[in-house]
Chain A
């Protein structure tokens, strides 16, 4: 078990290094400068800012561009190399993800994550609990009543849940629920009641997917010999499902919720925009569109850590639930 954890951690570390490196290059290849604005920044001011934040071309670079006719982004590789080393240095020794350049002046990327992640995490947890709480029972019921109207009905609902995008379901919930129910506000994040409809909208797709996966898993398990034996011995159906089937049937769900958890707890741009939630999802989008290199790098790294953690957790959960895997591991 420990060797499994260690090998997974090692793999994760390598992946993170690769992730940071790829994102580092990609954000620098994107055209534009974070300090550019609709109202032009005067050239002499831009020069100062570029110098300060490492966007200014060095003399070597200018030489390479002029004499060797290299494209500017290629000539800049030397400068980027230095910045790359500096980035890792600051990350490892100072836990510093860099500053926000133009958006959120005066805030560091670390502060940005610190302020926004708790909102996304709480909302994501609510959505996850609801998605599993609704998805699993629906899937079980659909499997038990296979090929009846109950099955078709639940799967139709699940299909709708998968197909309706959040930017449609979100505003619909606002109009149909929030404006009618007095204690639910249309948008904003002031208290627990403000989590209700965003969590439902956010978890809808996941709930639907979980329902379909559970149904598939249940159908497979229900056809196995040991279930037939249990039925023949006269065990009540509820006990067969809960004690003997679910454990096996939930395997596909467990491997799915790892990445789903990471995605759902790191924020959703659409949900945050529709419900005015100060979460983390918006920073991914604003970071990219605003050429905020440190925000994009920092968030990509953070997301990477979360998704790897969630995957490791779901792997361990699978091993714990599945005796076959445990045996393989011992071998």
Chain B
């Protein structure tokens, strides 16, 4: 290379450098363009609302699809018009009529009608599709039987389109909170004309939801999807409430490494980080308090007890384990400033529902309870956890507490995710650390799984009086009465200590202060159509 070429290269490089120095950070540029960049923790397993079941899939689906009712931007448990402009119900909350938005269109311009809803319900309930979350529609009369193949004719499921804009439903039980449920992605409509174009309705291999095919009815539509790189959605000009939508698009990044995500946020690459690693919480609190958001979540960390195992089948022994957990200490050491609250029940308290206060820390009572159980100390129990660092640390803290307060020597066993799940399902464990996130804002999302034979029970515990109380609640239309029966059921379940709640989750994340209208919501389903950027950084 001669002198001249060197100097040209130098000039090019230095001009590039100067341009870069002057240019804004990617998050600033995106904010100017009205594009919101969100860390979304991982690649979604799919975008077919009938085949997925996770939170991060929900985050993306909510931007593209809309159920009958929509989420309120700042109030929990308030349903605002979504795909339906209004709804009516019978006095016993069992018969519902939804009137759809006359202006609603799919992102390809076709009208969204009541038949798209009945088609979607039929599809998710089709036995051959194998929708993992079809249970969410079992409230509809006949839905469960259709899904389990007991009835073959969908006409017997009590949901029908009265006309193009009227959808009628008959439920098994009174459900004053049905509009809440319809916000869940399992209740979203799917475009009949597009699904049918790409294959059979109940074929799991139907490719209608791939980026190049998908059509949606929500405020945004698919723009691009690069696997494990990003998913970008853009404004859906056909959306019935398009005037309300402030953003031009949203980019979801599957950043699975929480440390990388925090660095990306700090470096101005994203507007919201999905979480904050526990070791970095103090750092952000101290140096960037304006970025940190800590809000109540609708979920609980608990210890699952296999009550079919010797010793653990003794209620006094289980109580001793529960009484000897210093929940605040656990939160301080394991969560490190996450702002979680020690749990005294399984269901986190809400404005409407006050759960019973069952669990507390009392080492003296724990010792007495252990004595009562007659435990001879010969049996070695094992606490099963996944192989993540946080889980191991949590297990060690519990192990220490049980050793200190009860003199028990509990072993820790770690397994990869798949094995951990399989052992739980086959009751091949003694104790394990588990968690549950509510799908909708009602205590039944936490309570119905402890019935006999429920796939999420995994404790071996069941009780007829408990199930009778759940039935009674299901048949009670008056909300206040219903909640008090549910609280009674929860008390009965928790006093038997088949699970030991430890803390209620807190959502901790980093949010760019320019992002407006991202309000604390228990379920975290912040409706994207209300989000906007403030013109000046606050």
Chain A residues within CB distance 8 Å of chain B: 30-46, 48-49, 52, 99, 102-107, 111-112, 115-116, 171, 174-175, 178-179, 182-183, 185-189, 273-276, 278, 282, 289-291
Query: When A175-B263, A278-B229 are in contact, do A40 and B458 touch as well, CB less than 8 Å?
Result: yes
Q: Would B259 and A52 count as touching, CB distance under 8 A? A: no
Q: Would A41 and B455 count as touching, CB distance under 8 A? A: yes
8 Å CB contact of A32 from B418, B455, B456: B418
Q: Would A37 and B204 count as touching, CB distance under 8 A? A: no
Nearest A-chain residue to B127, judged by Cβ? A48
CB distance from B390 to the nearest CB of A (A): 15
| B1 in contact (CB, < 8 A) | no
CB distance from B112 to the nearest CB of A (A): 23
Partner-binding segment picked from B249-257, B472-480, B498-506: B249-257
Q: Would A44 and B257 count as touching, CB distance under 8 A? A: no
List, in ascending order, chain B residues with CB within 8 A of A31's CB: 418-419, 422
Q: Would A45 and B131 count as touching, CB distance under 8 A? A: yes
Chain B residues within CB distance 8 Å of chain A: 16-17, 20-21, 23, 26, 43, 45-48, 51-53, 127-135, 147-149, 204-205, 207, 209-210, 226-229, 253, 255-257, 259-260, 263-264, 266-267, 269, 416-419, 421-422, 425, 454-456, 458
User: CA separation between A32 and B46, bound complex, in Å?
Assistant: 21
Q: Would B130 and A116 count as touching, CB distance under 8 A? A: no
Q: Would A276 and B267 count as touching, CB distance under 8 A? A: no
Q: Would A49 and B421 count as touching, CB distance under 8 A? A: no
Nearest A-chain residue to B256, judged by Cβ? A273
List, in ascending order, chain B residues with CB within 8 A of A99's CB: 205
List, in ascending order, chain A residues with CB within 8 A of B418's CB: 30-34, 36, 289-291
User: CA separation between A289 and B128, bound complex, in Å?
Assistant: 27
8 Å CB contact of A273 from B20, B21, B260, B421: B260
Can you list 20 pairs linking A and B with CB atoms under 8 Å apart?
A: A31-B419, A32-B419, A39-B53, A39-B133, A39-B456, A40-B456, A41-B132, A44-B147, A49-B204, A52-B204, A104-B46, A105-B45, A112-B227, A116-B227, A182-B21, A182-B23, A183-B21, A185-B26, A187-B260, A188-B253
CB distance from A125 to the nearest CB of B (A): 19
Q: Would A185 and B45 count as touching, CB distance under 8 A? A: no
Known: A186-B269, A278-B226, A278-B229. 4 other contacts (CB 8 A): A186-B264, A188-B269, A289-B416, A289-B417
Query: When A40-B455, A278-B226 are in contact, do A186 and B422 touch as well, CB less than 8 Å?
Result: no
CB distance from B15 to the nearest CB of A (A): 11
8 Å CB contact of A36 from B229, B260, B269, B422: B422
Q: Sort A-B residue pairs by CB-CB distance and give the 5 closest, nearest first.
A: A40-B455, A105-B46, A32-B418, A183-B20, A278-B229
Q: Which of A43, A45, A104, A115 neighbours the largest number of chain B CB atoms within 10 Å of its CB?
A: A45
User: CA separation between A35 and B292, bound complex, in Å?
Assistant: 35
List, in ascending order, chain B residues with CB within 8 A of A289's CB: 416-418
Q: Would A278 and B456 count as touching, CB distance under 8 A? A: no
List, in ascending order, chain A residues with CB within 8 A of B129's CB: 48
Q: Would A45 and B253 count as touching, CB distance under 8 A? A: no
List, in ascending order, chain B residues with CB within 8 A of A46's CB: 130
Looking at chain A's contact residues, is the secondary structure mostly helix, strand, loop, or mixed?
loop
Q: Would B132 and A35 count as touching, CB distance under 8 A? A: yes
Q: Which of A36, A99, A282 neighbours the largest number of chain B CB atoms within 10 Å of its CB?
A: A36
Q: Would B130 and A276 count as touching, CB distance under 8 A? A: no
Q: Would B127 and A44 count as touching, CB distance under 8 A? A: yes
List, in ascending order, chain B residues with CB within 8 A of A291's CB: 418
CB distance from B37 to the nearest CB of A (A): 10
User: CA separation between A182 and B48, bound complex, in Å?
Assistant: 40
List, in ascending order, chain B residues with CB within 8 A of A44's CB: 127, 147-149
Nearest A-chain residue to B52, judged by Cβ? A105
Query: When A32-B419, A37-B53, A289-B418 are in contact, do A185 and B267 touch as well, CB less than 8 Å?
Result: yes
CB distance from B184 to the nearest CB of A (A): 13
Q: Which of A99, A104, A106, A189 neighbours the largest number of chain B CB atoms within 10 Å of its CB?
A: A106
User: CA separation between A182 and B21, bound complex, in Å?
Assistant: 6
List, in ascending order, chain A residues with CB within 8 A of B264's CB: 186-188, 276
Query: When A31-B419, A36-B425, A273-B256 are in contact, do A174 and B227 touch as well, CB less than 8 Å?
Result: no
8 Å CB contact of A276 from B45, B260, B419: B260
User: CA separation between A240 and B269, bound complex, in Å?
Assistant: 51
Query: When A275-B260, A278-B229, A282-B228 are in contact, do A106 and B20 touch as well, CB less than 8 Å?
Result: no
Nearest B-chain residue to A188, judged by Cβ? B269
User: CA separation between A44 and B148, bound complex, in Å?
Assistant: 7
Q: Would A40 and B134 count as touching, CB distance under 8 A? A: no
CB distance from A176 to the nearest CB of B (A): 12
List, in ascending order, chain B residues with CB within 8 A of A40's CB: 425, 454-456, 458
8 Å CB contact of A49 from B46, B130, B226: B130
Query: When A32-B418, A115-B226, A278-B227 are in contact, do A179 and B267 touch as well, CB less than 8 Å?
Result: yes
List, in ascending order, chain B residues with CB within 8 A of A43's CB: 455
Q: Would A183 and B458 count as touching, CB distance under 8 A? A: no
Query: When A40-B455, A42-B455, A274-B257 are in contact, do A186 and B148 touch as well, CB less than 8 Å?
Result: no
Q: Would B263 and A183 count as touching, CB distance under 8 A? A: no
User: CA separation between A37 and B204, bound complex, in Å?
Assistant: 17
User: CA separation between A255 and B128, bound complex, in Å?
Assistant: 53
Nearest A-chain residue to B453, judged by Cβ? A43
